[in-house]
Amino acid sequence: MTVVVTTSPGFGKHGKVPGLIKDAGWEFIRCTDKDRADGGLSEHIARADYLVVGLVPVTADTLTAASNLKGVIKHGVGVDNIDIPACTTSGLPVCNTPAANADAVAELAVGLMFSMARFIPQGHGSVTSGGWERRVGSQLGGKTLGIVGLGNIGKRLAKLARGLGMHVVASDMYPDKAFAAEYGLEFLSLQELLATADYVSLHVFGGKGNAALINRDSLTSMKPGARLINLARGEVVDLDAVAEALASGHLGGVAIDAYVQEPPAIDHPVFSHPNAIFTPHSGADTLEALENVGLMVIEDIKTLIAGEMPVRCLNAKDLCARDV
């Protein structure tokens, strides 16, 4: 059986996962050609029994060449790069791995808040360049964190932030009022949140509905000097508008982990601003998270091989309706 993978090279290499893959005897083909938009998927998709997807798009055209494919599993949570209706039409279950990397992403968000609050990257650069520039930062305790998208990651971040003594507000299409009551957070509209928060952390899905969610107007609505964190998808933030807000001083800092183009074109002015921090879409890159995701992926493939429907299948109901 052949599994074609378009995820990061870390998939299948941590914890119990390598042993399970070896015991299963599956052939793994990794499509990680950085010089090709699809990582080389088009060369191997015809051989795939199962496709484990990272950020490479899975379209109707992709599926046309996938004559042996029996299932699509997202290595992560966001499935905006997978054409689920096309998969359903082709009779293909689509699964993801909810909550497997929530702790990792939430902890990076906290790390980025500390980095901006205490100017950690700037201090490191000062010392290693032979300088000694001491900058007065601020504490996170008592500040307001605005979480846009209170899913598994957002909830974990809310718990961490409350533990730091932060006030937490959130914006979500489906407010979990029981969680809010338990952890003492308040739901606001997006505009109210932006006007209130000292730190805004984005944890929404990508796709057309959230494209440029943070734009010139929404940045203008932010509290002067507030900091922005994007651990969601690149298209959620208008980088031109962010660069302008940084240059004017209205935006106090930004930390970005996801980009429309990866790697990004670093000639954009946002990449030269001293109050901007960048990470290489590594929010989920911890040993623990990669093992968690890998275990879920293997479990779902084994379930599909057994002729059963995984509990994490996103289009199970539509597939059942199709077969009636």
Residue 324 has pLDDT above 80, yes or no: no
Residue at 320: amino acid letter = C
Q: How far is CA 124 from CA 131, 254, 256, in A?
A: 10, 18, 19
- Is-contact 113 157, C-beta < 8 A? no
List pLDDT tens digits, range 122-173.
999 999 999 999 999 999 999 999 999 999 999 999 999 999 999 999 999 9
Domain 2-100+286-323 and domain 102-278, same fold? Reply is yes
Classified as helix, coil or strand, 235 is helix
Classified as helix, coil or strand, 126 is helix
* CA-CA-CA-CA torsion sign (16, 19, 20, 21): positive
Question: Catalytic: which of 27, 262, 288, 308?
Answer: 262
Query: What's the first-to-final CA gap in the chain, in angstroms?
Result: 29
250: annotated active-site residue: no
262: annotated active-site residue: yes
Q: Which residues of 54-76 are buried (b: 16+ CB within 10 A; e: fewer)?
A: bbbebeeebbeebeebbbbbbbb
Cα 226 from Cα 275, distance rounded (Å): 12
List pLDDT tens digits, range 235-274.
999 999 999 999 999 999 999 999 999 889 999 999 999 9
Burial class (CB in 10 A: 0-12, 13-18, 19+), 300: buried
Residue for token digits 């599926």? 63
Question: Catalytic: which of 30, 75, 167, 281?
Answer: 281
Q: What residues contact residue 251 under an 8 Å CB cut-off, 6+ apart?
A: 219, 222, 225, 226, 227, 228, 242, 245
Cα 95 from Cα 71, distance rounded (Å): 8
What is the domain class of 102-278 according to CATH?
Answer: alpha beta
Q: Report the pLDDT value the prediction gives residue 258, as an integer from 0 to 100.
A: 95
Q: What is the CB neighbour count within 10 angstroms for residue 131?
A: 10
Q: To the nearest whole percent, how much of the chain has pLDDT over 90?
A: 85
Domain 2-100+286-323 CATH superfamily: NAD(P)-binding Rossmann-like Domain (3.40.50.720)
Domain assignments of the chain as residue spans, ordered by start: 2-100+286-323, 102-278
233: annotated active-site residue: yes
Phi and psi of 107, rounded to 5°?
A: -65, -35
- Is-contact 146 169, C-beta < 8 A? yes
Q: Report the pLDDT value the prediction gives residue 13, as an integer from 0 to 100.
A: 81
Question: Catalytic: which of 233, 235, 291, 312?
Answer: 233
List pLDDT tens digits, range 269-289.
999 999 999 999 999 999 999
pTM: 0.92
pLDDT averaged over the chain?
94
